[in-house]
Each structure stands twice: as structure tokens, then as C-alpha cells.
Amino acid sequence: MGASQKDHRNDLPQVVLGLCVNELGMPLSYRLYPGNTYEGTTLGDGIKYAKNKAGARSMTVVADAGMLSKKNLDIIRDSEMKFIVSARIKNLNANVTRQITDHDFVANPIMELDYNGDRLVIAYSRKRAAADRARRKKSIARLEGLIASNRAVRKHQFLKIPLRGNPSIDAMAVERASQFDGLKGYLTNDFELSQDKIIEHYSYLPNVEQSFRMFKSDLRVRPMFHQVSQRIEAHVVLCMVCLCLMRILEQKVKPLGYTYKQALSIITDAHSVLIGNTKKTYLIPPLLSNEFKAIQQSLEIGE
């Protein structure tokens, strides 16, 4: 399918995989590209392909801040689709950030602004604020340790390096960062969804990332030891089918309080045994646990 130099292995054929999933992480479609394809150019083709597969059904593209570029958003708009993407609110223009930092999020945890004709929704979370403070405190402590020991310090958002003298913590940068504690921005061109629904739809994004992790780890989509393009695609198709089955299993056992990994562990612990001699062989069925029987019942599988 083409060789890629990304992993410095010109001797191995590689592919770029584009995966489209729904809010549950269930795969809807996929695309394979030659390994030397730049990932940033695959969005338009992937969206067109997914939309064609969806038919008349409406689709909303949900993505992280890495998708927040005018070119990518224009591609989605030209496809007459909706999008919900994470907004890097710290990097917006001064007028917008001033409105955000002046807002009392403790009293009103959600605010909305117009941003170049789109909706910019900012939500505050106490839990997220505590996590932001903890991460910043840990980062500053590590930075102070590096400065105190006179060790090399790479570029850091809280580091101030004067023309003369020693580097130090940039108090103004720390103060500015603290103004955004607990805040999360969402940019969308959907004017019908409520603010809560926008946030809810974005909250499904980790399911997309989990599907990729399942693809790479549980299903071992890579490395694939194939050289013919048809065999590479067959390998990916099998992994797609398996991912569908794992996602179905996940939804079936969720009411039982199991993850798909826990369910698989219970299922694979049930073993049958073959015993016998040269004349006759007997099959001893497994002793099924109550957990196994519950999973069996949830999957509507008979004995």
C-alpha cells in the first residue's frame, strides 16, 4: 500500500487507517491510505465516504482540538455536516478571552459566545478545576527543582528566562493559566442543539480513542505481516468485524457491571476437556460459573 518513513522503516509497507465510529465507539466505516499519505489530507475523503455510507441520515463530526483549523472546518461545512470540536480558549483573541475570564462561572457554569458565526460554548467544572490546579502545581514544582539544581530546562509555559541572570518561575503566566481552571470550550455550527447536548455529544469522544486503542492492542491490527494490498485490507476488515463484536459484547454486559475485558476473561476461563484413548474419546463440558451463565443469558446464547 506504499512505504512510509514515519517510523524510519523504509523496508516495511505501511498504511494509514481512518476509522469512523459512532458515539458508542461502534465502527461505522474505515478507509485505508498508502503509508506515505499525510494524515491531515485524509479528512475530506473520510467524511465524504462516511456520509455516503450513512445515506440520508444526518451526521455530526466530533473531534478534539487538533481538528480546529479553518481548512478542516470548511471541509465539514462544504459537506453540509455539523461539527463539535474542542476549542483552545486560551489561544483565542484578547476580546474573547477577556469575556471568558470576566464571567462568573461559579454562579453560572456555562456561557456562550458568537465566534466567527459559530457557537462557542464554555463550561466550568469544579472537578476539572481541581485537576487543573493539581497538574499546574506538580509542573511548577518539577520546574523549580530543575532551576534549583541548575539543570537544563526546556521551553516551558511557566518559565521566564531573562537576558541576564537565572531563569525563574513566570508569576504572570501562572496567574493567567489559573484564570482558565476548570474551563472547557466547545465550538459548533449546530444552532439547534442545547448547550447540555453539545457537551454530552463531545463527552463521547473518548469512545473513539478507545476504539483505536482496542484496534491496536486487543485486536493487534499492527504489526501486520502482509505485503499484498488485498491481504492488508482483509486483515483490517477482520479487525473491524472483531471490533464490532467486542462493542456489542460491551453493551450487552454493561448492565451486569462488567467491562468487555472482564467478560472476555470470564468467557475464556471456561474450558472443555477431551480425554480418551486410541479407541474412544470423551468430551467433558466445562463447569460454568454463575458469571458465565449471566453473560450467556445477556447474549441470548443457548447452551
Q: Is 6 exposed, middle or buried (0-12, 13-18, 19+ CB in 10 A)?
A: exposed
Owner of C-alpha cell 465510529: 21
Residue 188 has φ and ψ, to the nearest 5°, of -150, 155
Would the pTM count as exceeding 0.75?
no
The mean pLDDT of 34-40, rounded to a whole number, is: 73
- CB-based contact 282:276 (threshold 8 Å): yes
| Window from 127-131, 203-207, 261-265 with minimum mean pLDDT | 203-207
- CB-based contact 120:185 (threshold 8 Å): yes
Distances (CA, A) of 106 to 109, 122, 183, 222: 6, 13, 11, 46
The mean pLDDT of 223-247, rounded to a whole number, is: 81
**Cα–Cα distance for residue pair 226/235, rounded to 1 Å:** 9
Q: pLDDT band at residue 183, thresholds of 50, 70 and 90?
A: very high
**Cα–Cα distance for residue pair 167/188, rounded to 1 Å:** 41
Residue 67, pLDDT score: 65
Residue 2, pLDDT score: 32
Which cell goes with 40? Answer: 491531515
The mean pLDDT of 190-210, rounded to a whole number, is: 89
Q: pLDDT band at residue 258, thresholds of 50, 70 and 90?
A: very high
Q: For the chain, give the percent of residues with pLDDT over 70.
A: 90
Residue 9, pLDDT score: 54
The mean pLDDT of 27-50, rounded to a whole number, is: 77
**Cα–Cα distance for residue pair 186/216, rounded to 1 Å:** 29
Query: Strand 281-284 relative to strand 168-169: parallel, antiparallel, unpaired?
Result: unpaired
Residue 133, pLDDT score: 96
Residue 302, pLDDT score: 65
- Chain-centroid distance of CA 297 in Å reads 31
Closest by CA to 146, choosing from 158, 134, 135, is 158
CB atoms within 10 A of CB 44: 15
pLDDT tens-place string over residues 90-102: 988 999 999 999 9
B/e letters for 58-95, b = 16+ CB within 10 Å, e = fewer, are ebbbbbeeebbeeebbebbeebebbbbbbbebeebeee
Residue 124, pLDDT score: 96
Residue 5, pLDDT score: 38
Distances (CA, A) of 134 to 127, 172, 179, 182: 11, 18, 14, 11
More confident of the two residues 217 and 289: 289
**Cα–Cα distance for residue pair 103/124, rounded to 1 Å:** 11
Task: For the chain, give every domain's residue range.
Answer: 15-86+113-118+186-216, 130-176, 229-303
Residue 84 has φ and ψ, to the nearest 5°, of -135, 115
CB atoms within 10 A of CB 277: 7
pLDDT tens-place string over residues 153-180: 777 888 888 878 788 899 999 999 999 9
Residue 3, pLDDT score: 34
Residue 128, pLDDT score: 95
pLDDT at 236 over 70: yes
- Alpha helix (H) residue ranges in the chain: 43-54, 70-78, 94-102, 126-148, 171-178, 195-202, 205-216, 229-253, 260-268, 290-298
Residue 224, pLDDT score: 65
**Cα–Cα distance for residue pair 236/133, rounded to 1 Å:** 42
